[in-house]
Structure 1
Amino acid sequence: MKTNIIFGLIAAALTFCSCSNNSSKIVDSIKTKEYQPNFESLSQHEAAPEWFQDAKLGMYFHWGPYSVPAYGSAWYPANMYLKGNRVNEFHEKNFGPIDEFGYEDFIPMFTAEHFDAEDWADLFQMTGAKFAGPVAQHHDGFAMWDSEINPWNSVDMGPKRDITGEMFQALRKRDIKTIATLHHARNGQRNANTPEYWGKNGFNSHYPYHPDLPTATTDPKLRKLFGNWENIDDFNQYWLDQVIEVVDKYQPDILWYDSWLNMIPEQKINEMVAYHFNSGLKNKQEVVVCSKHQDIPWEYGIDDMEQGGRRDIYPLPWMTDITLGNSRWMYVEGEKYKDAALVVRNMIDVWSKNGTVLLNVSPRADGVINQQQRDILKDIGAWMKVHGEAVYGTRPFHIFGYGTANASDASHDGQSAKIKYSAKDVRYTIAKDKKSMYVFFLGVPESGKPIKMRAIGGFHRNQPPSPIKNIKLMGSDAKVEWKLTPQTLLINMPEVEYNPIATVLKLELE
C-alpha cells in the first residue's frame, strides 16, 4: 500500500506525542463524522488510543475443529490433505482416508461441552489482561460466531453456541476490552490454475488444491469451507462480508489480522477499516485495527510481530502475539509450555520498547483449558498483581535498558519470545506523569549485593527527568539503600527473598 511519506511522518509524530499528558485525540480534534475508505480519511484516525497504550496485555485463544485431533498444529486442516505429510499419515491412520473423512467431519466432534465463558473471562482477568477475545476465524474457514453469511459456524454446527458472543458478554461484564482476530484472508483458494498443491507462488492458500483432492469440491456449501470459489473476487467480498457481520453483531474494540492480509485487495481492506472506524464512532468506542507486516498502514493501524520483538524502543506503539505453548498455538497432546518466568521476562522487554503483548492459550476441543496452562497464568497473574503499577499506563524511558542476554536466536525484526534473561538484564518504564520510574531485573538479583546502574546515574544523559527522592522494592517493605554519584546510581540490594520471576524497583522522583 502506498502512503504519503510526509503526511505519514506527521501522523507518526502525533501518535507518539499521545504519550504525554497534554495529548489530544486526533479523532476529536478533527471532529470526524464519517470515515471514507481511502488513506486520506482513514489516516485521520488515531492508531493507538491511550487506553490501548495503557493496556499492555491482552489474551486470545486458538480453538476450533482443528483442536479435535490435537495433533500437528493449527495447520492440520491444510496438511491432512497433503500426501506424504506426517499429518496426512496420522489422519488416515486414525480417522480414515481423506476422501472418506474430511476436515468437515471433525466439526460434529468439536462439542465444547465444558466451555464456560465466565470461567475463561475470570482466568484472563486474573492473569492481568486488559483486552481479550477469540480467534474468530482461523485459516480453516470455520466461524466462531453466530453467522448468517458463513454456514460453517459454531452456532449451526459443532458446539451450537455463539463462542464470540458469549465471550464478549463475559469480558464486558468485567470491563475488559474485546478483540476479535481474523485469519481468513488465507482461506481463499488462489491456486486452482497451477498443477502443484500450493501453487508456484508458494503458500498462497491454506487448503491445498488439486483436481483429485476433496478440496476441489463443487458442492456449493462445502466450497465455502475450503475457500474454493469460482473466482477470487467473490471470495474477497465474502471475506469482507464476514468482517462486517462481526463488527455489526459484536462491536469489537480491536480487529486483528494475521499474515496474508496483503492477498486481499487494498480497496476491500480500506472498506473494512472504514466500517470498523465508523462503528466505533457510532458506538462511542476508540477502536483499534492491527495487522502483521504493516499490511495496514501504520498511520492508522498497529503493527504486530508474531513471536517477535524489537532490538530497541520503537517510536510507535506496536504489538507482538506470543503463545504459552513452546511452539504450537492450538492444543496438541504432549505440548510443552513456557514457564511464567520466561513469559513475563520477555513481556517486560516488549513493554520497555513501547510494545503490547497478545498472549495465546490453547483450549482442548471439549472447552477445557488444562491445568498446566492455568498454573502458568496464575503465576503470571500473581506477579502482575504486585508489579502492575510498573506496567499498566507506563511509557518507555529514553533507553529500554541494558544487559547480556543472547539474542542470537532472534526472530522477525528483533528478539524471539524465548530469550533467556537473567538479573544482569535490566529494563525501564516510566509513569506518564514522570513522578515514578521503574527498574526491572529480569531474574533474581543477589541478596545484599551492591549494583552499579551507570546507565541512568550521575551526569549520564539518560538520567531520570527529575531527582530521585526514594527507591522502593516493589512487593516488600525492606529499606533500599542507594547513592547517586557523578558516575553511577549505586543501589545496595536488601537481604530479602526475591521474586523468582522478576524484581522491580520503584524510583520515586521529585
Structure 2
Amino acid sequence: MTAKLAGPWTRRSFLSAAAASAGTTGLTTAQAAPAPFQPTWDSLVDGYRTPDWFRDAKFGIWAHWSAQCVPEMGDWYARRMYIQGNWQYDHHVKTYGHPTQVGFMEIQNRWKAENWDPDALLDLYVKAGAKYFVALANHHDNQDNYDSKYHAWNTVRVGPRKDLIGIWEKAARKRGLRFGVSNHSAHAWHWYQPAYGYDPEGPHAGQRYDAYRLTKADGKGKWWEGLDPQDLYTGRNIVMPDGFKTIRSVEAWQQEQTAHWDEKPPLHNPAFTRQWFLRCRDLIDSYRPDLVYFDNTTLPLGQAGLDITAHYYNASMAWNDGKLEAVVNGKVMPTEWRPALVEDVERGFRENIEPLPWQTDTCLGDWHYSRGIFDNHQYKPASTVIHRLCDIVSKNGNLLLSVPLRGDGTIDSDERKILEDIAAWMARNGEAIYGTRPWRTFGEGPTKVSGGMFSEGNSKALTHEDIRFTTKGGALYAIALGWPRDGVMRIQTLAEDSAVAPGSIDSVHAVGAADGLTFKRTRRGLEIKLPEGLAGSPAVAVKIRGAGVA
C-alpha cells in the first residue's frame, strides 16, 4: 500500500501532501494547539528540554519483539536468511525451505504470539523496577506491529492478528508505566535487499529469491491475497547483479554496499520515505507514546525525521495542556544537535557525567530471541545489569534493557530468574536510583569504563572497589559495585581532606535501614562498616548526610 503522491518533494509539499493523504485523520491533535516546534534542527535544539519523568525514571524495559523471534536464531534473521553461506541461511533452508519459495513473509505469518500474556509480563517488569516500558513497533523487516492505516503488512492482518502496540500500551498505562515505541523501519529499503538476490552456488544457483519474483497478483487464493510483497520488501533498490558464481564474490559485493547503511532517504524511491512518514505519524497519533526510539544516527530519513519529531513534540504539548512530555531517542548525535532529543548509546557507556540526559540500550542476550543463548546460559547476569545501571545513572543516564521474547510471546526461565534477582535488589536500593541526579563526581575505582557505541564489550567487570555516586534531597548515595571481602566500604573521594567534600559527614545509613552505620573518616578515605546481612549483595548502597555532601 504505497501512497501515490506526485510533484516535487520539498519539506513544505511533503507535509501538506502527507496531511492531504491522511484525510480527516491528519495532524488534528497538533493543529489544535500552538505549534512552537518547526521541523529544523535549530527549532528542536532551542525548544526541547528533557521531561522530568524520564530523568526520574532511570530504568526501562523493552520488548524487542518481531517475527524474527520465531526461528529463535537471533538478530537480523530476515536479512541473513537470504545470504548463502550464513548460518541463518542454512537453518532456514533446513527448517522452512529455500528462500526462492519460502521467504521471510512466510515467517511473518508463522508468528502467532499464541502464549503472550502482556499483563503477566508487565507485572514482572514493574516488580523488576522498570518505570517505563518500550515496545517494538516495527523492525527492519518492515512489518508494523499495530493497526497501521498506511501499511497492510501489519500484525492485525498478518501473523498474530492482534494490535500488539495497542494491547501493550493499555497494559503499561494500567500499571502507571510511561509507554514508548521503537521504530526501526527507516532502514528497510536497503537492509532487505538480499531478499532480491540469489544463490551463487548449488542447485538453486542464479534463481532469484521470493522478493524478486512475487507480485500482488501471485497472492490470489493464498493467505496473503490482496497484499503486495513489494510493499513489504520495499522494491528493487540495491539489487544484486547477475553473474556471481561464488559465495565469496557475493560477500565482496555486499561489503561494498555497506555505505548504504545511512540515514538518507532513497532518492530513487521517494514513495518509501513518504510511506514511512505516514506510518510513523499514524503510530504517534494513534497510541500517544511518551517515548519514540529511532534506531538511527541522528534522525531517520533526512527531512522526514525532522518533520516527524516536530510533529511529535507539538502533539505532546497538545495532549498535555502545553507541557512537553515527549522523549525522542537518536544515536551518534553531533554535539550541537544533542539538545534536540535524548541521545541513545547502543550497548555502550559514557566515561564521565554528561551535561544532558542520555540513555543506554542493551539486551540480556541477542536483540531477537536466540535459543542458543538460553541453552548455553549466556545471558547477562543480574549483577552485570545492576552494575551498569548504577554506572549509567551516576553519569546522568537511563538504562533501557531488552528482555527477548520467544515468538510465542513468552520469556524463558533464565530471563525470569534474572528479572527476579534485579527485582530483589531494586526493592531495597531503588531509593539510590530513582529521582536522583549526578553528584559532583560520578564515582571512583580502578576499573576503566569504555565510552561510546557498542563499548560494553570493551569494559572489564566492575568490582567492590568501584563506587558510584548519586544525590537526592540533600543526601549522597554511594554504591559499591560488589561486597568488600572484609565488609568495609572504603571511599577515597570522601577522605577528611577531600576537595570534593570538604565539610562534615554526620551520618551514614544502609539504604532502606533506620539504624546508622559505624564509620570513620581519615586522610585515606571514609570507611564504613557494612551490615553483615547485606553480604553477597551484587551492589551495596549507603545514604550519607552532612555539610560535606549536601
TM-score (norm 2): 0.78
Amino acid at match of 1:445: P
Q: Which residue of 1 aligns with 2:272?
A: 235
Compare CA radii of gyration and give the structure with the larger one: 2
Rounded to whole Å, the distance in 2 between the matches of 1:429 and 1:47 is 21
- Secondary structure class of the residue paired with 1:259: strand
How many Å apart are 1:106 and its aligned residue? Answer: 1.0
Question: 1:46 Cα shift?
Answer: 2.5
Asked if 1 retains the 8 angstrom alpha-carbon contact of 2:141 and 2:192, the reply is: no
Match of 1:226 among 197, 215, 233: 233
Distance (whole Å) between structure 2 residues aligned to residue 235 and residue 304 of structure 1: 25
SS of the residue 2:410 aligns to: coil
One of 311, 315, 318 as aligned partner of 2:355? 315
Deviation (angstroms), 1:347: 1.2
Return structure 1 stretches of 4+ with deviation > 6 angstroms.
Answer: none
What is the match of residue 273 of structure 1? Answer: 309
- Summarize deviations over 1:136-182 as a string: whole Å, max 9, x none: 11110011111121111111111111110011111111111011001
Alignment-derived partner of residue 337 in structure 2: 297
* 1:388-407 equivalences in 2 (<5 Å): 388-405=430-447, 407=449
Matching residue of 2:162: 161
2:407 maps to a residue whose letter is: A
Whether 1:468 aligns to 2:505 is yes
Partner of residue 216 from structure 1, selected from 205, 208, 212: 212
Aligned ranges 1:95-174 → 2 under 5 Å: 95-174=96-175
1:331 aligns with 2:373: no
Question: In the alignment, residue 471 of structure 1 is paired with which amino acid?
Answer: V
**Match in the other structure for 2:84:** 83
Distance 1:308 1:184, change over 3 A: same
- The amino acid of 1:188's aligned partner reads W
SS of structure 2 residue aligned to 1:91: helix
> Match of 2:310, as an amino acid?
A
Cα distance, 1:499 vs. partner?
4.6
| Matched residue type, 2:476 | M
- Is the Cα contact below 8 Å between 1:438 and 1:504 reproduced in 2? yes
Residue-by-residue CA offset, 1:371-401 (whole Å, 9 max, x unaligned): 2111111111111111111000101111111
Question: Where do residues 303-452 of structure 1 align in structure 2 (5 Å cutoff)?
Answer: 303-325=343-365, 328-335=366-373, 336-405=378-447, 407=449, 412=453, 415-416=456-457, 419-431=460-472, 433=473, 435-449=474-488, 451-452=489-490
Q: What is the alpha-carbon distance in structure 2 between the residues aligned to residue 264 and residue 367 of structure 1?
A: 31
Q: Give the residue type in structure 1 aligned to 2:355.
A: P
Runs of 5+ unmatched residues, structure 1: 1-30, 190-203
**Structure 1 counterpart of 2:37:** 35
- Listed as ranges, the matches of 1:281-292 within 5 Å are 281-284=317-320, 286-292=325-331
Amino acid of the residue matched to residue 312 of structure 1?
Answer: N
Residue 488 (structure 2) pairs with residue 481 (structure 1): no
CA displacement at 1:469 relative to structure 2: 2.2
* Corresponding letter in the other structure for 1:234: A
Distance 1:403 1:330 in 2: 34
Matched, 1:56 2:98: no
Structure 1 residue 456, shift from structure 2 partner = 2.3
Task: State percent identity of aligned pairs.
Answer: 30
Alpha carbons 2:57, 2:132 under 8 Å: kept = yes
**The residue matched to 2:506 in structure 1 has which SS?**
strand
Contact 1:317 1:355 in 2 (8 A): yes
Contact 2:297 2:330 in 1 (8 A): no
Q: Distance in 2 between matches of 1:309 and 1:94?
A: 38
Aligned AA for 2:327?
Answer: V
- Give CA deviations for 1:249-303 in whole Å, capped at 9, x if unaligned: 00000111113566612x1111110110111011005111111112893121111
**CA positional deviation for 1:452:** 3.9
Deviation for aligned residue 1:495? 4.1
Q: 1:79 to 1:458 in 2, by over 3 A?
A: same
Check 1:497–1:254 CA distance in 2 against 1; reply closer, same or farther (3 A cut). Answer: closer
Alignment of 1:192-203 (within 5 A): none
Query: 1:311 deviation in Å?
Result: 1.2
Answer yes or no: is the 8 Å Cα contact 1:47–1:289 preserved in 2. Answer: no
Report the residue type matching 1:330 in the other structure. Answer: H
Per-residue deviation, 1:95: 1.0
Letter of the 2:234 counterpart: G
Q: Which residue of 2 aligns with 1:454?
A: 492
| 1:18 alignment counterpart | none
8 A contact 2:101–2:209 mirrored in 1: no
Residue aligning to 1:22: none
Deviation at 1:402, TM superposition (A): 1.2
Secondary structure of residue in 1 paired with 2:56: helix
Change (3 A) 1:411 1:40: closer
Post-superposition offset of 1:370: 1.6
What's the counterpart of residue 72 of structure 2?
70
Whole-angstrom CA distance in 1 between matches of 2:309 and 2:517: 50
- Whole-Å separation in 1 of the counterparts to 2:311 and 2:362: 28
Q: Distance in 2 between matches of 1:56 and 1:419?
A: 23
SS of the aligned residue for 1:334 comes to helix
**Unmatched runs of 5 consecutive residues or more in structure 2:** 1-32, 199-207, 217-227, 238-267
Amino acid across the alignment from 1:44: D
Give me the whole-angstrom Cα distance separating, in 2, the residues matched to 1:331 and 1:276: 31
SS at match of 2:372: coil
Residue in structure 1 matched with residue 186 of structure 2 by the alignment: 185
Residue identity in the other structure for 1:351: V
* CA 1:65–1:418: 2 relative to 1, 3 Å: farther
Letter of the 2:197 partner, please give it.
Answer: H
**AA at the equivalent of 1:297:** W
- Whichever residue aligns with residue 338 of structure 2, its letter is W
Counterpart position of 2:6: none
CA distance in 1, matches of 2:492, 2:297: 45
> CA contact under 8 A between 1:447 and 1:494: conserved in structure 2?
no
2-side partners of 1:416 and 1:39: how far apart? 33
Distance 1:142 1:418, change over 3 A: farther
> Alpha carbon RMSD of aligned pairs, Å?
2.4
Describe the shift of the 1:463–1:413 C-alpha distance in structure 2 as closer, same or farther (beyond 3 A). farther
TM-score normalised to structure 1 length: 0.84
Aligned equivalents of 2:192 and 2:112: distance in 1?
27
Contact 1:304 1:320 survives alignment (8 Å): yes
The 8 Å contact of residues 460 and 487 in structure 1, kept in 2 or not, is answered as no
